[in-house]
């Protein structure tokens, strides 16, 4: 029996009719930014954060309303009390600057309208909110045409409608298929998409929870948890981008990562001994295959004890890291949360002496087996434990480690349930609870401690943390990879909608194990996966100990040449990719986007799961089947330019394009400006003195713009204003192109000295080119492509056309 069948059986036993439901409103009170409603046996608060974000909290069975949020919610000052409240015979009406809420008084029902009177969202007509013993639940109506996105790391298509999903972090080693659930991350954020009125619901509950999105054909969706409070946020769009961005006001945006972490990462379970790592380093540099990071899996440790080194395998890790650093490669080491129960092991001694470990109510320390054998587990809900854990990072950073990879932190354990006993207690700084409450937060809190420890010990360098487990808000502390995938073709296909929905759920910095973790890859599979990986936010090749090698050169020169080409392409795009990461850090809008985010009125994009956008201008269509030299894809309305051939296509239709092994289809939206840079072997290898500004002209839409962010890529100096923001704009008319450069912020000494201007799809001969009023004599023009170089200090280019 697979996991989805198990869940559906659980659903059928959890009948909606068994719940106590909210009945009629008895009375209410308005105070500041909230409306408190009293019912028989229950109370409810509606609390406004903004004119179109509000929070709903229910208490039942004599409890008081609990406004305490999980750690996923950031500290914010969002409050809105400028609403108009009206009472009528049958309903209460609340009007904000953006929304109108109607609350039915007799049989409670919440409806949300926009200012034009269009219904955006409503509770189910038969029951809205309810409880059953410790369980809490909400029921919501939806139209059959509605789409559902989000929910983080989930398998299946882009549209999540028609299935039941479980939020319970789980070490899922069995092969991941289209209905495998749950996986390692729990992100209880759902987006209901409508081209005119989209909204999001964030369910702030860390207990095991479920989202049933019409799994039995019902005309409603529901979400519930096995404990805790019914506490959710309604986030109005109306656009999909606005929903995602406003969600980040609740759970935060990612910090700006170190630029090197956006390069190519090489990993294996495991690289050892030290001589093998040194040979790996030499091979990458001799072959001039770009790489920025090596990952060290558990075999570097002494008997798998965390924060130790096996002296036989790695006699001098500090010297090894120094050599790596000289060659531009950063070290990332794996850490598991289990601490071996060895009385001579310093970490175990410290944990026992200071009461750092998870315990049962009777005081017994929880012990279970993971890689080192019997282990105790830190109680990351305690601030003193997180401070201790944060301090452990310094020993590694002093050696030269630049990043930490947190694994097995669901937490995983080698027992029948694959995790910690749910009756274990967590102290939580005086607000104690069982593991049922804190299971989904365990990895999140470990990542928080790791990030803060690295930030402190690396002085002014930005940390890199990678995690397998997490909860909503994990983007504030860590990148995420999707765990133990397989060397299956289907896993390339499976990855795309999973990563896109993770991006819609706040997690921009995500990726898969390129080539597959388990099983044997092959040259064609690794090539096609690397092509996709070059445009995925986190780009790492990783496989397990039993698998054959899958480094870029492992399958012969034919494949190596193509793989190298696409890793180099990643670095050619790195200025643009870093710029998109900056945008994500500011707005929450992900780098890797489903097409529906950019083309919300195009029905063909609503469940398009095997293509994606990189930002708003680059369309990528990976090949995910063997023996294919063509690819069917969809281009939305407008003109599109083949990145490789510069051929122009009219969108709004499906087409079949050539896709031999050496080519992954990439299209650029006409009207876009795309900065590209020279080849690099690693980030910071050399100054990028000349930046290509590629302008893909569009006669039908004659305006284009691009805003470029630039800083040192490593330090926190940007927080003190040490960065540049430059805006590029052009206007294309019948007889000229005017290109303006506006330096909005200029507080950083950038490395670019020149711009190489490349105007693609120029159908008229250039007659004269003027740079800040001075005529330019040197330029080239052929095949509708105009090229010339100008210094970065200029302000205006005028191109006169025939």
Q: Distance between CA 79 and CA 51 in Å, rounded?
A: 9
- In terms of Cβ atoms closer than 10 Å to its own Cβ (0-12, 13-18, 19+), residue 191 is buried
For the chain, the domains span 3-238, 265-335+379-587, 687-801
Q: Distance between CA 508 and CA 592 in Å, rounded?
A: 7
Q: Distance between CA 780 and CA 129 in Å, rounded?
A: 68
For residue 108, give the 3-state DSSP assignment.
coil
Check if 410 is active-site: yes
Tokens read off for 59: 């208490």
Q: State pTM to two decimals.
A: 0.97
Instruction: State the pLDDT at residue 50.
Output: 98
265-335+379-587: CATH superfamily: Glycosidases (3.20.20.80)
Instruction: State the pLDDT at residue 5.
Output: 35
Check if 447 is active-site: no
Q: Where are the alpha helices (DSSP H) in 288-360?
A: 317-326, 346-353
Q: Distance between CA 692 and CA 760 in Å, rounded?
A: 12
Beta strands 339-340 and 373-376 are antiparallel
Instruction: State the pLDDT at residue 398.
Output: 97
Instruction: State the pLDDT at residue 10.
Output: 41
Q: How far is CA 189 from CA 211, 248, 263, in A?
A: 10, 11, 29
Q: Distance between CA 568 and CA 230 in Å, rounded?
A: 49
CB 347 within 8 A of CB 337: no
Catalytic option among 71, 407, 446, 524: 407
Same fold: 3-238 with 265-335+379-587? no
Q: Distance between CA 408 and CA 707 in Å, rounded?
A: 40
Instruction: State the pLDDT at residue 6.
Output: 37
- Which residue from 312, 290, 306, 386 is spatially nearest to 340, judged by alpha carbons? 306
Tokens read off for 321: 């890291």
Q: Distance between CA 668 and CA 754 in Å, rounded?
A: 23
CB 519 within 8 A of CB 485: no
Number of continuous H segments (helices) and E segments (strands) in the chain: 13, 54
- Partners of 406 in the beta sheet? 335, 467
Low-confidence stretches of the chain (pLDDT < 50) are: 1-13
Q: How far is CA 701 from CA 639, 648, 713, 732, in A?
A: 10, 15, 34, 8
Instruction: State the pLDDT at residue 32.
Output: 96
Tokens read off for 350: 């410290």
For residue 749, how many other CB atoms are within 10 A of its CB? 8
Beta strands 293-296 and 339-340 are unpaired
Task: Classify domain 687-801 by CATH architecture.
Answer: Sandwich (2.60)
Residue 399's Cβ-side half-sphere holds a number of Cα atoms within 13 Å equal to: 21
Instruction: State the pLDDT at residue 9.
Output: 37
Find out if CATH 2.60.40.1760 is the number for domain 3-238. Answer: yes
pLDDT in tens, 417-454: 999 999 999 999 999 999 999 999 999 999 999 999 99
- DSSP string across 619-659: EE----STT-SEEEEEE-SSEEEETTT--EEE-SEEEEEE-
- Which residue from 620, 615, 558 is spatially nearest to 591, judged by alpha carbons? 615
Instruction: State the pLDDT at residue 17.
Output: 82
DSSP single-letter state for residue 378: B
pLDDT in tens, 750-774: 899 999 999 999 999 999 999 999 9
Instruction: State the pLDDT at residue 14.
Output: 66
For residue 25, how many other CB atoms are within 10 A of its CB? 19
CB 672 within 8 A of CB 639: no
Instruction: State the pLDDT at residue 4.
Output: 37
Catalytic option among 52, 410, 446, 524: 410
Catalytic option among 226, 242, 292, 484: 484
Beta strands 653-658 and 164-167 are unpaired
């Amino acid at each position: 029996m697979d996991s989805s069948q198990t869940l559906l059986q659980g659903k059928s036993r959890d009948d909606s009719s068994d719940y106590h439901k909210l009945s009629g409103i008895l009375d209410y009170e308005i105070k500041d930014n909230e409306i408190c409603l009293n019912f028989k046996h229950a109370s409810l608060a509606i609390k406004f954060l903004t004119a179109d974000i509000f929070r709903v909290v229910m208490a039942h069975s004599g409890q008081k309303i609990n406004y305490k949020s999980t750690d996923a919610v950031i500290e914010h000052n969002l409050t809105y009390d400028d609403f108009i409240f009206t009472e009528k015979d049958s309903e209460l009406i609340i009007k904000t600057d953006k929304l109108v809420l109607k609350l039915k008084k007799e049989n409670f029902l919440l409806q949300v309208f926009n200012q034009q009177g269009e219904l955006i969202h409503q509770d189910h007509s038969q029951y809205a909110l309810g409880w059953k013993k410790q369980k809490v639940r909400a029921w919501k109506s939806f139209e059959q045409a509605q789409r559902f996105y989000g929910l983080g790391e989930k398998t299946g298509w882009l549209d999540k409608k028609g299935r039941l999903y479980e939020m319970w972090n789980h070490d899922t080693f069995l092969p991941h298929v289209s209905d495998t659930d749950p996986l390692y991350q729990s992100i209880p954020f759902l987006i209901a998409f409508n081209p005119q009125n989209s909204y999001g619901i964030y369910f702030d509950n860390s207990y095991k929870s479920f989202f049933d999105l019409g799994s039995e054909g019902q005309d409603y969706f529901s979400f519930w948890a096995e404990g805790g409070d019914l506490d959710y946020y309604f986030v109005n769009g109306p656009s999909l981008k606005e929903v995602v961005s406003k969600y980040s006001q609740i759970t935060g945006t990612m910090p700006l990562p170190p630029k090197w972490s956006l390069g190519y990462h090489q990993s294996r379970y495991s690289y050892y001994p030290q001589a093998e790592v040194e040979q790996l380093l030499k091979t990458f540099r001799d072959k001039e295959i770009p790489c920025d990071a090596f990952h060290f899996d558990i075999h570097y440790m002494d008997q798998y004890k965390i924060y130790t080194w096996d002296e036989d395998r790695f006699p001098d890790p500090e010297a090894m890291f120094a050599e790596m650093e000289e060659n531009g490669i950063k070290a990332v080491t794996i850490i598991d949360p289990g601490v071996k129960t060895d009385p001579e092991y310093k970490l175990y001694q410290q944990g026992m002496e200071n009461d750092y470990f998870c315990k049962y109510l009777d005081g017994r320390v929880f012990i279970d087996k993971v890689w080192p054998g019997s282990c105790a587990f830190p109680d990351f809900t305690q601030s003193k434990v997180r401070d201790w854990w944060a301090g452990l990072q310094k020993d590694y950073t002093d050696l030269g480690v630049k990043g930490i990879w947190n694994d097995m932190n669901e937490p995983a354990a080698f027992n029948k349930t694959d995790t910690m006993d749910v009756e274990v207690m967590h102290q939580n700084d005086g607000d104690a609870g069982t593991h049922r409450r804190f299971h989904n937060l365990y990895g999140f809190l470990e990542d928080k401690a790791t990030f803060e420890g690295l930030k402190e010990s690396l002085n002014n360098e930005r940390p890199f943390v990678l995690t397998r487990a997490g909860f909503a808000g994990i983007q504030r502390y860590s990148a995420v990879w999707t765990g133990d995938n397989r060397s299956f073709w289907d896993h390339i296909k499976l990855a795309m909608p999973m990563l896109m929905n993770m991006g819609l759920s706040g997690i921009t910095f995500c990726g898969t194990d390129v080539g597959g973790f388990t099983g044997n890859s092959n040259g064609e599979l690794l090539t096609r996966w690397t092509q996709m990986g070059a445009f995925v936010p986190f780009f790492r090749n990783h496989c397990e100990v039993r698998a054959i090698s899958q480094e870029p050169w492992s399958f012969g020169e034919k494949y190596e040449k193509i793989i190298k080409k696409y890793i180099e392409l990643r670095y050619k795009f790195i200025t643009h990719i870093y710029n998109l990461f900056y945008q994500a850090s500011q707005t929450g809008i992900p780098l890797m986007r489903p097409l529906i985010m950019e083309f919300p009125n195009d029905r063909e994009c609503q469940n398009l799961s095997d293509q994606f956008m990189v930002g708003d201008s680059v369309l990528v269509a990976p090949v995910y089947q063997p023996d294919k030299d063509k690819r069917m894809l969809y281009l939305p309305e407008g003109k599109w330019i083949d990145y490789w051939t510069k051929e122009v296509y009219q969108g709004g239709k499906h087409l079949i394009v050539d896709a031999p092994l050496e080519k992954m289809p990439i299209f650029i939206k006409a009207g876009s400006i795309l900065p590209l840079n020279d080849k690099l072997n690693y980030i910071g290898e050399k100054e990028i003195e000349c930046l290509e500004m590629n302008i893909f002209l569009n006669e039908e839409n004659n305006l284009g713009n691009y805003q470029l962010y630039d800083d040192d890529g490593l330090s926190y100096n940007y927080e003190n204003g040490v960065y540049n923001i430059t805006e590029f704009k052009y206007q294309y008319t019948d007889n000229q192109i005017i290109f303006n450069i506006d330096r909005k912020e200029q507080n950083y000494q950038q490395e670019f000295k020149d711009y190489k201007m490349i105007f693609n799809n120029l159908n008229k001969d250039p007659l004269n080119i003027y740079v800040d009023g001075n005529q330019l004599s040197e330029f080239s023009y052929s095949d509708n492509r105009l090229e010339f170089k100008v210094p970065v200090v200029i302000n205006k280019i005028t191109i006169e056309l025939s």
